[in-house]
Structure 1
Amino acid sequence: MRFLLSAAFVVCWSSGFIGAKLGADSAPAATLLMWRFLPLAAVLALVAATAARASWRDLTARDMARQTAIGALSQSGYLFTVYYAIQLGVSSGTTALIDGTQPLVAGALAGPLLRQYVSRRQWLGLCLGLGGVALVTTADAAAGTDVRWWAYLVPFLGMSSLVAATFLEGRSRTRVAPSVSMTVHCATSAVLFTALAAATGTLRPPAAPSFWVAVCWLVVLSTFGGYGLYWLILRRFGATEVNTLMFLMAPVTALWGTAMFGEPFGPQTAAGLAIGLAAVALVRRGATPTATSRTGNPPIRTRGRTGAPTGAASCRGTGA
């Protein structure tokens, strides 16, 4: 079951970058994101008002405000930069690879900010995974000669937004049901993207069938699949499990983008894929199950069998 959940999560999360590519030529990023979240937020709000009312009873105004802020950072800010970068011509694989640095950045800051740590073997695996990410990123960037250099900086803004959401979530001691967090995050994104589309005069959706195919793709695979599985895996197996799986997103997206859009996939990309897989294996071997890692909640310096503190911080939106 763990393997099936992990595989489904990798596929669904990676599908977000592909969906963004599908819709990139038919509408601006704000339009695509608005129509992705507006109907979805309405459906989730209806479910919350009927079948899921019990999950909302104990939430305070502070909890709601925190979830709204997390949604704005980990979903709205992150997704807009991803979609905008792809519209600028950055390949879906490269965007996913840049986003793949987030677990390492979050892990590096988790110690002083959240008192969460990983073992030395896990750190080695995380650094190895970063090397694979860098290897494939440089290959894709070299192939994209028509893309302006600063376009590759745009996904880093989204990664920074995810890191900020990581620590905002990590400081919360309130356990929020995934259905609640999804509803709040999607409603936040619907409001923000509708306001952005209105401000830029891009409210009206295009008539192109490809636009609505992209919207359905993103709602079903990325939001329900990627986002739902993210929280399920985070709570069952811990943040380190999610971090290691994140290193698989970039190579899977690169392969997918090559198959669907003819994006470049050469020897350097293949080498990066192999390094990423080796990193996942290394980090998994270095993981020590603890009560904290199973829940994904902020620990109080729990230690593994080797004496090294374990755990790592990660926070994600709804896939790209």
Structure 2
Amino acid sequence: MTRPFAPRLLWPLLATALIVSWSSGFIGIRLASEEAGVMLVLFWRTLMSGLLLLPLALLRGPRLTVRVVAEQMVFGVMVVFLYLGGFALAIGQRVPTGLVALISDLVPLAIAALSQPLLGERLRGRQWLGTGIGVAGVLIVSQDSLRLGHAPLWAYGVTVAAMLVFALATVLQKRRGMLQLPVYQTLCIQSLTGAALFGLAALAEGDITPPATPGFLLGVGWLVIFSTFFCYSIYYIALRLYPAAQVSSVIYLSPPVTMIWGWLMFDEPLTGLMFLGLAVTLVGVWLTSARTLPRATNRGRNAPDTFGDQVRLDG
């Protein structure tokens, strides 16, 4: 299918908007968590996002059956509550936002590792090499972050666990061959599922009443309008006009942007060693994100060739 014509100068504008808005999710959580607990922040973010999308999800797109809703709720638990909640919890514990963004972008490496046993996709040697290089880069960044930061050690582990949960959810969705709903329907169901769980977690911490402070309102508004709706609008417009590989490659530039934002806004650590580790990691992600070679099975033939089909809510 022929792609719509795109003016030559449109790509730099879309790419810049995508990088900034994608990285803004980490900064918005950091900003709002200055005023309230991360569970309360995520409750209001996911609740507002889900409610705003609900009329569209009910009135347009395929009919939502009980089975489809239940499946999306399961993935909502994994990719919203556990994945997004894990990263937000780490940021709330003051893990540097740039490191959190970097670990988030390791999802293709984890998907590559899980695709062989679960999807029957044979990986090239360069992909295994890329996985090792990517992990080495994260260890370089983490070493400086651990030395300069103030977060507890377990919070760094939470970021890795959250990334692995997202990768597992993506691979399981591919394995099941689930009905491909429009993004606004999946985002609505998964957001409302996350909101219910974040609400319970916030109640366990005390209250779900939002603090009437400018910082909290700005942070949640930032997350809903800029990091969710604006970000994904730009993302899907770009996918319509440009190749998927070109669009996804831009997203991998979000960690350095996030590091600079965190340094400027919150005085988070920013060192040459961290940028070295970032460069090493990006090389690993680039190597790993090459296409897989499916085995000659029905499941293998039906498996998607590219990573990252599941909608991400971090950006």
Q: CA RMSD in A?
A: 3.3
Give the match for residue 319 of structure 1.
314
Report SS of the residue matched to 2:265: helix
Superposed, 1:144-159 pairs within 5 Å as 144=149, 146-159=150-163
1:238-253 paired onto structure 2 within 5 Å: 247-253=252-258
What's the counterpart of residue 22 of structure 1?
31
User: Cα distance 1:19–1:117, how it changes in 2: closer, same or farther (>3 A)?
Assistant: farther
Question: Which ranges in structure 1 are unaligned for 5 or more consecutive residues?
Answer: 293-297, 303-308
Q: Bigger shift: 31-40 or 270-279?
A: 270-279
Q: Does 1:86 align with 2:79?
A: no
Instruction: Report the Cα offset of residue 62 of structure 1.
Output: 1.9
Aligned-pair CA distance for 1:267:
1.3
Name the SS of the counterpart of 2:61 in structure 1: helix
8 Å contact 1:122–1:282 — kept in the other structure? Answer: yes
2:185 alignment partner in structure 1: 180
Answering whether residue 274 of structure 2 is matched by residue 269 of structure 1, we say yes
Q: Which residue of 1 aligns with 2:62?
A: 56
Q: 1:197 aligns with which of 196, 202, 206?
A: 202
The one of 117, 120, 128 aligned to 1:115: 120
- Aligned-pair distance for 1:160? 2.7
Structure 1 residues 88 and 54: CA distance shift in structure 2, 3 A: closer
> Letter of the aligned partner of 1:156 in structure 2?
V
User: Could you say which residue in structure 1 is the equivalent of 2:70?
Assistant: 65
Aligned twin of 1:300: 301
Shift of 1:33: 1.0
Residue 306 of structure 1 corresponds to which residue in structure 2? none
Q: Which amino acid in 2 is paired with 1:56?
A: P
Residue identity matched to 2:93: L
Q: How much does 1:37 deviate?
A: 2.0
Q: Secondary structure at the match of 2:207?
A: coil
The superposition leaves residues 124-169 of structure 1 with CA deviations (integer Å, 9 ceiling, x where unpaired) of 444433332222122112111x332222112123123212311232
**Deviation per CA, 1:52-85, whole angstroms, max 9, x where unpaired?**
x24032x432222111111121112112221211
Assess, with a 3 A threshold, how the Cα gap between structure 1 residues 116 and 11 changes in structure 2: closer, same or farther.
farther
Aligned equivalent of 1:208: 213
For 1:65 and 1:230, locate their aligned partners in 2 and report how far apart those are by CA, in whole Å: 27
Q: Does 1:42 align with 2:51?
A: yes
Q: Determine if the alignment matches structure 1 residue 136 to structure 2 residue 141.
A: yes
The structure-2 alpha-carbon separation of the partners of 1:103 and 1:43, relative to structure 1 and needing over 3 Å to count, comes to same
2:45, 2:220 within 8 Å by CA — same for their partners in 1? yes
Conserved? CA contact 1:227–1:319, under 8 Å: no
What residue identity is the alignment partner of 2:37? P
What secondary structure sits across from 1:223 in the alignment?
helix
- Work out whether residues 226 and 318 of structure 1, in 8 Å CA contact, stay in contact via their aligned partners in 2: no
Overall identity of the aligned pairs, in %: 34
Matched AA of 1:62: R
Work out whether residues 51 and 188 of structure 2, in 8 Å CA contact, stay in contact via their aligned partners in 1.
no
Choose from 103, 111, 126 the match for 1:106. Answer: 111
Asked if the contact 1:254/1:265 (under 8 Å) is kept, the reply is yes
Cα deviation for residue 223 of structure 1 reads 1.5
Aligned residue for 2:85, secondary structure, equals helix
- 1:21–1:301 Cα change, 3 Å: same
CA distance in 1, matches of 2:163, 2:229: 21
Q: Is the 8 A contact 2:121 2:300 kept in 1?
A: yes
Paired residues of 2:109 and 2:285 also in contact (CA < 8 A): no
Normalising to structure 1: TM-score of the pair? 0.80
Partners of 1:237 and 1:62 lie apart in 2 by 33
Measured against aligned partners, the alpha-carbon deviations of 1:188-239 in whole angstroms (never above 9, x if no partner) come to 122222222233322111122011110011112221244455667789856x
Which residue does 1:163 correspond to in 2?
167
